């Protein structure tokens, strides 16, 4: 589990947690692959949304023959 006391993380923190580059994470934001919320000019990744994304992606990957 990624959680501590916060409900969101920056795109850079999400990139590090996922093991991808900052550019890849921002591309995922742009294409809608990475769940985000905007507060003013800040783009934040909801930790719960990221965990859900990982669970569903992992489940789909294990369902493949």
CATH class of 8-63: mainly alpha
Task: Give the pTM.
Answer: 0.79
Residue whose structure tokens are 């692959």 = 33
pLDDT at 14: 96
- Strand order across the 42-46 sheet: 8-10, 42-46, 37-39
pLDDT tens-digit profile of 7-58?
999 999 999 999 999 999 999 999 999 999 999 999 999 999 999 989 988 7
């Amino acid at each position: 589990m990624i959680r501590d006391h916060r409900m969101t993380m920056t795109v850079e923190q999400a990139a590090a947690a996922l093991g991808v580059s900052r550019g890849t994470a921002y591309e995922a934001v742009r294409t809608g692959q990475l769940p985000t919320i905007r507060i003013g000019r800040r783009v934040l990744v909801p930790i719960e949304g990221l965990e859900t994304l990982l669970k569903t992606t992992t489940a789909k990957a294990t369902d493949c023959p």
